[in-house]
Structure 1
């Protein structure tokens, strides 16, 4: 969690100050526990898909940070060869199968992957991260239904941070309903967990990933969390009018890193010094990788169409 926080804070600074990273960026600052708690309950053979807010799950799953930074700078050595940017990360060797910008897109892709795992008799699980806004897309309902009917080994991970862009949950979903309840109505087992408590998230993730791996069907985890920065970009958005600085401050007081540190302090008396040392090391790591990425080559024009679908002319 500390590494993810440091990396994203520094990338936010570079994005704002240098204007060299031109891809849109969606930071997970404040939401690190949902990525770490779940991804550390998986194996490299389990595949994780995400939506646009992809950095934290990518790193928590073991994705190559050097390739991520190079991708943000549009360089050939990026994980998508400089063609995808922040919202299209991939590191299949680590089990990070991919991310995409279309809302809800990867939900159905993860279900299809999990179904294939089951058809092959492989003890593997597919997981898909998405926000509360994606649960209002038709693909969410369709994917829940298909997964329940075929009992596919998929874990739906909803990072419920209360806002879809600038639209609050209460303005979009009927009173008295929950995302968990929607999943259960479709025949999918579901749990609600404090998404800022990394230990609670990890315990729940271990349980549901095991259940999916054992062939007991799909599960949804609804993780209550909160992004500190604006929906897209490096700034703060309390002046926009849709949420207050006071609300942001209340959630910042529930910082997942601070909470984990406090819980560990009795067992690990030197945890505060360790966190400070980790931060120092990760600051140096991201500083070196940014300097390196800025000097890497851009993709060649000769390979502009590499990977593109080109129908055969008749």
Structure 2
């Protein structure tokens, strides 16, 4: 038994909640992948299986008043911030009970009630939106912090640099959180940029750049906690780079020709964030095998209920086609 509870500020219940949330994210993604293959979900989707610790760890320090902006690979961010899987499942199935009434789909889920300002299908588009939300917080003295999730590919977009520069100049309460899963849509990040680390780019804007193991949920939570505290006290933004790995392709149409199956197997075997955290909690005496089995059953029940809710929900009426298009 280790002294995990002495090494962290989190209670045993909070630690188990982190594990549970990661399990929910993976189960949700596996379920929607299955429904997609059955032809029940149309279009495409971008799965974050293997990256569960980044979403959960980054949201641990946030209050319900704090905000997030997300990207096309945003299911995990939504769940970690508190968005319910029933409404998400209904959204993906195009039902009127979905968070965007079935009109947003996988890449545009938003839930303002829990501070989820929404995912975005345009690469890097969430960064300037997050900066705008952070500017609102500062000007109106609302006190909330914004976490902007984006991938390594987004760090080469102009919106990334403009967002970091403006946030730094105005000391805005925002955390830029890069999930570096090592690959863009069709190539390694090493082929797309000359800098050693994306976090190094923070220096160009006079803000801290932090690198963290994105498959260690506690390390992610600790790094984000420091960045959130810095933002909340008026010291400005932080750029966090979390190294992680997506088990699936960029999207459902990705043949993954740019990496080997051996590499994928190695990440699954050695760096599974859920398996690693489960083992950590078992060794610390925080979790038992029976408790883990109960959690697995609870997650399975939650997914079954979400699918049943979505499949039994009403299709949107044709008359609503042009409603909610503009704010």
Identify the TM-score tier after normalising by the shorter chain: over 0.9
Aligned to 2:9: none
Aligned to 1:302: 319
Number of residue-to-residue matches in the alignment: 305
> Cα offset for 1:143?
0.7
**1:52-71 map, 5 Å:** 52-71=72-91
Range that drifts further, 120-129 or 132-141: 120-129
Does residue 226 of structure 1 match 2:245?
A: yes
In the alignment, is the contact (CA less than 8 A) between 1:261 and 1:271 conserved in 2? no
Q: Distance in 1 between matches of 2:292 and 2:271?
A: 17
Q: Distance in 1 between matches of 2:272 and 2:128?
A: 31
Correspondence for 1:254 among 271, 276, 288: 271
Does residue 99 of structure 1 match 2:119?
A: yes
Q: Distance in 2 between matches of 1:23 and 1:84?
A: 11
> Cα offset for 1:185?
1.4
In the alignment, is the contact (CA less than 8 A) between 1:155 and 1:220 conserved in 2? yes
1:210-265 deviations in Å (ceiling 9; x for gaps): 110010100111000000011112x8x6x642111111112112100111112112
Q: Secondary structure at the match of 2:175?
A: strand
Aligned to 1:180: 199
Q: Distance in 2 between matches of 1:240 and 1:113?
A: 36
Q: Distance in 1 between matches of 2:139 and 2:297?
A: 47
Q: Distance in 2 between matches of 1:165 and 1:65?
A: 27
Does residue 33 of structure 1 match 2:80?
A: no
Q: Secondary structure at the match of 2:266?
A: helix
Aligned to 2:220: 201
Tell me the TM-score normalized by structure 2.
0.90
Correspondence for 1:111 among 111, 116, 131: 131
269 and 121 in structure 1: CA distance in 2 versus 1, 3 angstrom threshold: closer
189 and 240 in structure 1: CA distance in 2 versus 1, 3 angstrom threshold: closer
Q: Distance in 2 between matches of 1:117 and 1:269?
A: 38
**1:81-160 map, 5 Å:** 81-160=101-180
Correspondence for 1:169 among 189, 198, 215: 189
Aligned to 1:3: 24
In the alignment, is the contact (CA less than 8 A) between 2:201 and 2:209 conserved in 1? no
Q: Secondary structure at the match of 2:68?
A: strand
Q: Distance in 2 between matches of 1:240 and 1:24?
A: 16
Correspondence for 2:302 among 285, 293, 296: 285
Q: Secondary structure at the match of 2:312?
A: coil
Tell me the TM-score normalized by structure 1.
0.94
1:272-305 deviations in Å (ceiling 9; x for gaps): 3322221111112111221221121111111111
Q: Distance in 2 between matches of 1:269 and 1:306?
A: 49
Q: Secondary structure at the match of 2:87?
A: helix
Aligned to 2:17: none
List runs of 5+ in structure 2 lacking aligned partners.
Answer: 1-21
Q: Distance in 2 between matches of 1:54 and 1:76?
A: 20
Aligned to 1:75: 95
List runs of 5+ in structure 1 lacking aligned partners.
Answer: none
Aligned to 1:13: 34
In the alignment, is the contact (CA less than 8 A) between 1:2 and 1:275 conserved in 2? no
> Cα offset for 1:269?
6.4
90 and 146 in structure 1: CA distance in 2 versus 1, 3 angstrom threshold: same
RMSD between aligned alpha carbons?
1.5
Range that drifts further, 4-13 or 80-89: 4-13
Aligned to 1:267: 284
